[in-house]
Amino acid sequence: MPREHILVIEDEEDVLELVRYNLAREGYTVGCAESGEAGLELARREHPDLIVLDLMLPGLDGLEVCRLLKADPLTEDISVVMLTARGEEADIVTGLEMGADDYLPKPFSPRVLLARIKAVLRRRSRALPDPGDVLKLHGMVIDPVRHKVSVGGRDIDLTHTEFRILHFLASRPGWVFTRYQIIDAVHGETHAVLDRSVDVQIAGLRKKLGEAGKYIETVRGVGYRFRET
């Protein structure tokens, strides 16, 4: 059965071959590029399902490649998993804010990379729920029409902002969002809110949810996600 097409953009030959070999062994169709410019050309021509993108590339670096991919209507829907040797918060956060789906620091385990890729492809294959759909996850019921949340049959009293944060995260389980992405989704891009105010809202939300609050997970140095089922 044919598998998804994955493009690997990586300038280190041994790393490129390691990733290519493991992806091909899993049955994926694999394309390779050793520079940002060549990777962009291949992405536009072949439109892969996912790109494994090194950040430290000759010429165009990975962050710029990601920005150009997400700015182009032809490639904006391609999933991106970033590889980074530096693992600095600023690069990771910038990449996620540009639209990358996940990141993995070097050195990395091929098994972990494959698991991350499968998780991203799995999430992308699911259609997002209708904004009016009732969400049921981990014994939690989130009703956006009635603006109600219950855990184990017990109603939870949330503020408007807490509800919107919970609904936003729970409708995309497993996806990692930076604080600024959460602010934009809940308040809009023009709303002046400090990023650390999200931490305060999340802390209050977890407290009200009780035991179920553990499903809102902190991704250190990046932001938050709602645990997948």
pLDDT 10s per residue in the chain (229 long)?
447 899 999 999 999 999 999 999 999 999 999 999 999 999 999 899 999 999 989 889 999 999 999 888 888 889 999 988 876 777 778 888 888 888 888 888 999 999 999 988 887 766 566 767 899 999 999 998 888 999 999 999 998 889 999 999 999 898 888 888 888 777 665 444 555 788 989 999 999 999 999 999 998 878 899 998 7
Helices (H) and strands (E) in the chain, counts: 8, 12
Residue 106 sits in the same domain as residue 203: no
Q: Are 33 and 9 a contacting pair, CB within 8 Å?
A: yes
- Quote the tokens at residue 19: 């990733």
Q: Which helix (H) or strand (E) holds 136?
A: strand 135-137
The whole-number pLDDT of residue 58 equals: 87
Residue ending a domain, among 125, 159, 175, is 125
Residue 93 sits in the same domain as residue 150: no
How many structural domains are present in the chain?
2
- CATH number of the domain where residue 36 is located: 3.40.50.2300
The whole-number pLDDT of residue 191 equals: 47
Domain assignment present for residue 110? The answer is yes
The whole-number pLDDT of residue 154 equals: 93
The whole-number pLDDT of residue 190 equals: 46
Residue 36 sits in the same domain as residue 89: yes
- Output the DSSP codes for 91-105: HHHHHHHHT--EEEE
Residue 141 sits in the same domain as residue 189: yes
The whole-number pLDDT of residue 105 equals: 86
The whole-number pLDDT of residue 119 equals: 87
Helix, strand, or coil here: 48? Answer: coil
Residue 15 sits in the same domain as residue 82: yes
Range(s) of the domain holding residue 194: 135-226
| Distance, CA of 212 to chain centre | 22
The whole-number pLDDT of residue 2 equals: 46
The whole-number pLDDT of residue 176 equals: 87
Residue 109 sits in the same domain as residue 27: yes
Domain assignment present for residue 130? The answer is no
Residue 84 sits in the same domain as residue 152: no
Residue 63 sits in the same domain as residue 147: no
- CATH number of the domain where residue 169 is located: 1.10.10.10
- Quote the tokens at residue 137: 């996850």
The whole-number pLDDT of residue 180 equals: 81
Residue 104 sits in the same domain as residue 147: no
- Quote the tokens at residue 157: 């009293």
